[in-house]
DNA sequence: CGCCGTATTGAAACACCTCAATGCAGGTGG
DNA sequence: CCACCTGCATTGAGGTGTTTCAATACGGCG
């Protein structure tokens, strides 16, 4: 089935019996654009795999400040917790399709199947690794460098029509809340990159990368 | 044994046989102050539990910028990876004692013992949660708020002589690299908190919290 | 007591933010 | 089909917070 490709990471090395058991109890949810899959602090009832669309993970404080923690693309696992509630909300940017697995079943099969547990741990590891990258970007980088960090991150997902075109389904405000900046600063940083000949703006939410090296140097968070 | 208290989280619900098997292959390492337990990108040969002292976890980029990812206290588990190399260095702030478990043995017993695996996942979860907090602080907070975030974090470890005294074994530069600021800004933020009557400076690296509410409000990262 | 690394303080430059106006694009209704 | 409306993006001007660079103060240790 076509679906299987999406689950490669989650279901790698997991016996077919367990996979199909999980699929049978799963539900496919359709999300209109800009709707919430679940809210911060809500009880974790399920874990999810994004099948279609783009979503963002956000966290808000009592003071009303919002931090975007990441953007997710088809195939991504959503809903890692280490509590019985979610520490973040998940909102769709585009129309999206999400497969939901009831958490009780998922936990039960995770306990039963070491491979599944291992895969969840591995996914958790790469999510964690992403968080460290973001810490580095927010702690050490200037505005235009942070924008490059985002461009590169999205580019590496390989979800554009062409290799050097980056689609940005989120608003400038979303980008700003991801990068710890304001919308205006993001806008100016983008213009600066354009003026420097690093990128070319196709439309508001699509840009062509002209100078790959500069983008990857400015955006890099791991020192190689 | 006194040691056991430290390992409560890691060894909770783990059969005694496995615990003692691990302890037998473990080695106790003594670190002088300001020495490295291991370096970023070095092969992960072991996992560690800090028994004494304070250490910090740092990550550097090719450009020479350094981001501190956290400070660890006795009982903390060190060395989570999802690769065969470390993505960060660990440096001691004070003299420290660290128990090292060879990674081959640890992985073997983790595969064998579900409880141990679960505990590692749980610890990973709280490390991850900390990273999200840091993202929020760096993305959304002003200098003096970030300092409160740090003060509160250390206070919550409960490792001071008194409940309202916070010991800061790290330098201002370390604090700055943790909070995404410069040393000077940290210094000024501390002075501001002092002037506002929020804290009282006992020595350079020890401060008394006078206004707990303000510190926790300014420093809070989860919106309650 | 004097030295050296760390911390503080000051002044000026710079980056980013805020507030406000304008521009642009997609969608709706006349 | 065009005009309008609305929400998002851009641009500008001015203010604020943070950094930078440099000088001074502090504190632990020989």
Enumerate domains of chain A plus CATH numbers: 7-137 (2.60.120.10), 141-219 (1.10.10.10)
What is the predicted pLDDT for the residue at B2? 44
CA B29 – CA B37 distance, rounded (Å): 9
What is the predicted pLDDT for the residue at A3? 47
Interface list for chain B against chain A, based on CB atoms closer than 8 Å? 40, 59-63, 65-67, 69, 80-82, 87-88, 111, 114, 117, 120-122, 124-129, 131-132, 134-136, 138-140, 177-180, 220-224
On chain B, the residues whose CB falls within 8 A of the CB of A179 are 139
Q: Which nucleotide is nearest to B204 (CA to C1')?
A: C7
CA B64 – CA A106 distance, rounded (Å): 43
Residue B113 CB coordination number (10 Å): 20
Percent of chain A's residues with pLDDT above 90: 83
Is strand D within 7 Å of residue A206 (CB)? no
Q: Read off the pLDDT band of A82 (50, 70, 90).
A: confident
Distance CA A46 to C1' D7 in A: 34
What is the predicted pLDDT for the residue at A223? 59
Q: Under a CB-based contact definition with an 8 Å cutoff, are residues A113 and A106 in contact?
A: no
On chain A, the residues whose CB falls within 8 A of the CB of B124 are 82, 121, 124-125, 128
Q: Under a CB-based contact definition with an 8 Å cutoff, are residues A144 and A186 in contact?
A: no
Sheet holding B55-60, edge to edge: B36-38, B89-92, B55-60, B66-72
Distance CA B210 to C1' C2 in A: 37
Percent of chain A's residues with pLDDT above 70: 95
CA distance A139 to chain B (A): 4
Q: Does A4 score more than 50 pLDDT?
A: no
A135/B131 CB distance under 8 A: yes
What is the predicted pLDDT for the residue at A162? 80
Backbone phi and psi for residue B106, each to the nearest 5 degrees, phi listed first = -65, -45
Question: pLDDT for A27-55, tens place per residue?
Answer: 999 999 999 999 999 999 999 999 999 99
CA B48 – CA A8 distance, rounded (Å): 32
Q: Under a CB-based contact definition with an 8 Å cutoff, are residues B102 and B44 in contact?
A: no
What is the predicted pLDDT for the residue at A5? 52
Name residues whose C-beta falls within 8 Å of residue B96's C-beta, 6 or more positions apart in sequence: B30, B31, B33, B37, B50, B51, B52, B53, B54, B55
Among all residues of chain B, which has the CA nearest to that of A127?
B128
CA B31 – CA B94 distance, rounded (Å): 8
Nucleic acid strand C: bases within 7 A of protein CB: 6-11, 15-20, 25-26
Residue B172 CB coordination number (10 Å): 18
Mean pLDDT (10-residue bins), chain B, 224 residues: 61 94 96 96 96 96 95 94 92 96 96 89 90 98 98 87 90 98 98 97 95 96 69
One DSSP character per residue, A40-107 reads TT-B--EEEEEEES-EEEEEE-TT--EEEEEEE-TT-EE---SSSB-SSEEEESS-EEEEEEEHHHHH
CA B48 – CA B138 distance, rounded (Å): 28
Among all residues of chain A, which has the CA nearest to that of B114?
A111
What is the predicted pLDDT for the residue at B94? 96
Q: Under a CB-based contact definition with an 8 Å cutoff, are residues B57 and B122 in contact?
A: no
Closest CA to the C1' of C8: that residue is B187
H helix count then E strand count, chain A: 9, 11
The token pair that represents B208 in the structure block: 């008394």
B139/A180 CB distance under 8 A: yes
Question: pLDDT for A101-154, tens place per residue?
Answer: 999 999 999 989 989 988 988 898 889 999 999 999 999 999 999 999 999 999
On chain B, the residues whose CB falls within 8 A of the CB of A40 are 223
Select from A197, A38, A128, A3 the least CA-distant residue to B80.
A128
Q: Under a CB-based contact definition with an 8 Å cutoff, are residues A62 and B220 in contact?
A: yes
Backbone phi and psi for residue B78, each to the nearest 5 degrees, phi listed first = -125, 140
On chain B, the residues whose CB falls within 8 A of the CB of A125 are 80-82, 124
CA A191 – CA A201 distance, rounded (Å): 9
């Amino acid at each position: 089935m076509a679906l299987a490709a999406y689950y490669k990471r989650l279901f790698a090395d997991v016996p077919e019996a367990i996979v199909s058991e999980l699929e049978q109890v799963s539900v496919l949810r359709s999300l209109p654009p800009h709707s919430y899959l679940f809210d911060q602090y809500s009880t974790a009832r399920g874990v999810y795999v994004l099948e279609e669309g783009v979503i963002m993970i956000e966290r808000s404080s009592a003071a009303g400040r919002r931090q975007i923690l990441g953007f997710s693309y088809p195939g991504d696992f959503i809903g890692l917790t280490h509590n019985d509630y979610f520490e973040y909300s998940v909102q769709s940017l585009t129309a999206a399709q999400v497969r939901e697995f009831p958490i009780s079943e998922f936990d039960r099969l995770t306990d039963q199947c070491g491979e599944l547990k291992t895969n969840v741990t591995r996914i958790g590891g790469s999510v964690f690794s992403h968080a460290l990258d973001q810490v580095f970007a927010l702690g050490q980088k200037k505005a235009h460098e942070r924008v490059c960090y985002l461009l590169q991150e999205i580019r590496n997902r390989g979800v554009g029509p062409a290799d050097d075109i980056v689609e940005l389904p989120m608003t400038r405000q979303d980008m700003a809340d991801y990068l710890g900046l304001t919308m205006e600063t993001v806008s100016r940083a983008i213009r600066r990159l354009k003026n420097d000949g690093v990128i070319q703006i196709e439309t508001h939410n699509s840009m062509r990368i002209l100078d790959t090296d500069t983008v990857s140097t400015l955006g890099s968070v791991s020192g190689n």
